[in-house]
């Protein structure tokens, strides 16, 4: 079974890494290539539909023009081939891009349909040329243009298809040509393929570079520049996603608000560079306690952090609340004598109808400020009312 592409999430370094190492062969790392292909089929759905529409207009327009002119260059069996093979194949991009859930499968189907279109069109050209020498041989160049630039195939697929198509055209038309015609036809086919391939390579390289840079910009927009955690807005968006999923699956969420005690005094005493170091180290410790893809941490503002864990139970969250302050206490090796304290509020919640994530955040915030006034350097635990309906058992961590 083909592995699903890894979903995009803040903190993903694959895009920047791929851009640094380059992609001269128009191929990304395995999982990133899958993601690109899925993105390619969804973002270019209109282009694929347009390619099918242009092809259908071309076929029916050619048949109409041949009938209207009275020359009848297309024999009956060629018309039958166009209507029974080429036309259905041209309709494939219109169909598979309506719901492109599996990008790799959709691209394979479009490749198969394009190959059928190209070679059925070649068969029609050959039938016409063998019956009428004046049949326009330039039609083969229209087919090449269609495959390279209109069909929206990926580079190597379009290149191989067109080279095989050109070779087949030369072999099947050999008896009709004089040596001079063969030389010039071969020369123009080679040049047409070379120029088209260079143009398509440049276009698809720019498309891949744009894909990487757009995702890098999304990363920068979603992350806090100092700590590398999600910023407040992206964390709220993520929490909305996991909240809905937990509600659908009747699973639990663990929510934590954490605040560094006396951070302003540390900043004033040791300077802002040291304060930045404290924040970065606290962020790394918080991130090291994340376990699953849906777990996430963010900088909520200043020296305050927020985190969410999916599918945790009461025991695991209470244990985290006991041990996390101790992990933070010795988190700055550059100044081991400086004591870092953190207070927080941890809430175990069952998302359900009528309960909103803001209520869970407010509960964690109340517990945080209880600790600020009553027992600094500790994390208070609270459990929001368990629903009457049974919930999915929490996963063992």
Q: Which long-range contacts (CB under 8 A, 24 or more apart) does 201-209 make?
A: 201/26, 201/155, 204/26, 204/154, 204/155, 205/23, 205/26, 207/40, 208/23, 208/26, 208/28, 208/36, 209/19
- Residues 382 and 363: beta-carbon distance below 8 Å: yes
SS3 content of the chain, % helix, strand, coil (to 5): 65, 10, 25
pLDDT class for 9, splitting at 50, 70, 90? low
Of 85, 90, 169, 162, the C-alpha closest to 127 is: 169
Query: Which of helix, strand or coil describes residue 301?
Result: strand
Q: What is the pLDDT of residue 1?
A: 41
Cα–Cα distance measured from residue 296 to residue 288, given in angstroms and rounded to the nearest whole number: 10
Which pTM was predicted? 0.76
Q: pLDDT digits over 181-234, tens only?
A: 889 999 999 999 999 999 999 999 999 999 999 999 888 888 898 998 999 999
Q: Is residue 324 pLDDT above 80, yes or no?
A: yes
Query: Which of helix, strand or coil describes residue 363?
Result: helix
Cα–Cα distance measured from residue 275 to residue 280, given in angstroms and rounded to the nearest whole number: 9
Q: pLDDT digits over 248-272, tens only?
A: 998 999 999 999 998 888 888 888 8
Cα–Cα distance measured from residue 44 to residue 50, given in angstroms and rounded to the nearest whole number: 10
Fold for the domain defined by 232-383: Alpha-Beta Plaits (3.30.70)
For the residues 271-281, what does the mean pLDDT come to? 89
* In the chain, where the domains are located: 14-220, 232-383
Q: What is the pLDDT of residue 25?
A: 95
Reading the block at residue 324, the tokens are 């996390």
Q: What is the pLDDT of residue 135?
A: 81
Reading the block at residue 364, the tokens are 């964690």
Cα–Cα distance measured from residue 67 to residue 314, given in angstroms and rounded to the nearest whole number: 78
Q: Is residue 397 pLDDT above 60, yes or no?
A: no
Cα–Cα distance measured from residue 295 to residue 274, given in angstroms and rounded to the nearest whole number: 28
Secondary structure (H, E, C), 307-359:
EEEECCCHHHHHHHHHHHHHHHHCCCCCCCCCCCEEEEEEEEECCCCCCCHHH
Q: What is the pLDDT of residue 11?
A: 66
Helices 45-69 & 87-96, crossing angle to 10 degrees? Answer: 160
Cα–Cα distance measured from residue 364 to residue 368, given in angstroms and rounded to the nearest whole number: 6
For the residues 263-282, what does the mean pLDDT come to? 89
Q: pLDDT digits over 119-174, tens only?
A: 999 999 999 888 887 788 888 999 999 999 999 999 999 999 999 999 999 999 88
Q: What is the pLDDT of residue 136?
A: 80
Of 331, 231, 197, 200, the C-alpha closest to 275 is: 331
Q: Is residue 393 pLDDT above 70, yes or no?
A: no
Q: Is residue 322 pLDDT above 50, yes or no?
A: yes
- Residues 351 and 253: beta-carbon distance below 8 Å: yes
Cα–Cα distance measured from residue 80 to residue 74, given in angstroms and rounded to the nearest whole number: 10
- Residues 41 and 100: beta-carbon distance below 8 Å: yes
């Amino acid at each position: 079974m083909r592995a699903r592409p890894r979903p995009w999430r803040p903190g993903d370094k694959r895009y920047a890494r791929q851009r640094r190492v380059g992609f001269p062969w128009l191929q990304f790392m395995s999982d990133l290539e899958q993601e690109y292909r899925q993105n390619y089929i969804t973002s270019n759905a209109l282009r694929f539909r347009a390619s099918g529409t242009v092809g259908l207009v071309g076929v029916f327009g050619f048949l109409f023009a041949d009938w209207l002119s009275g020359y009848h260059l297309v024999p009956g069996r060629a018309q039958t081939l166009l209507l029974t093979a080429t036309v259905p194949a041209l309709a494939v991009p219109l169909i598979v891009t309506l719901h492109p859930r599996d990008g790799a499968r959709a691209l394979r189907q479009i490749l198969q349909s394009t190959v059928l279109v190209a070679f059925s069109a070649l068969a029609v050209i050959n039938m016409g040329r063998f019956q009428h020498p004046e049949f326009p041989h330039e039609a083969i160049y229209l087919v090449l243009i269609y495959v390279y630039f209109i069909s929206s195939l990926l580079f190597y697929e379009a290149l191989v298809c067109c080279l095989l198509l050109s070779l087949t055209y030369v072999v099947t038309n050999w008896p009709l040509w004089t040596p001079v015609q063969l030389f010039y036809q071969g020369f123009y086919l080679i040049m047409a393929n070379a120029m088209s391939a260079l143009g398509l390579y440049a276009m698809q390289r720019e498309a891949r570079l744009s894909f990487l840079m757009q995702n890098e910009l999304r990363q920068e927009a979603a992350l806090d520049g100092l700590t590398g955690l999600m910023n407040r807005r992206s964390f709220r968006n993520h929490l909305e996603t996991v909240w809905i999923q937990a509600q659908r699956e009747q699973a639990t969420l663990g929510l934590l608000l954490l605040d560094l005690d006396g951070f302003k005094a540390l900043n004033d005493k040791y300077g802002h560079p040291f304060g930045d170091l404290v924040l970065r180290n606290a962020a790394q410790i918080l991130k090291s306690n994340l376990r699953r893809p849906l777990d996430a941490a963010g900088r909520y503002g200043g020296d305050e952090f927020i985190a969410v864990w999916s599918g945790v139970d009461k025991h695991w969250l209470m244990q985290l609340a006991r041990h996390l302050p101790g992990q933070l206490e010795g988190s700055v090796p550059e100044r081991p004598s400086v004591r870092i304290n953190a207070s927080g509020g941890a809430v175990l919640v069952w998302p359900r109808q009528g309960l909103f994530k803001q209520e869970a955040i407010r509960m964690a915030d109340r517990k945080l400020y209880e600790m600020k006034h009553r027992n600094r350097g500790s994390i208070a635990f609270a459990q929001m009312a368990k629903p009457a309906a049974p919930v999915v058992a929490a996963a063992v961590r």
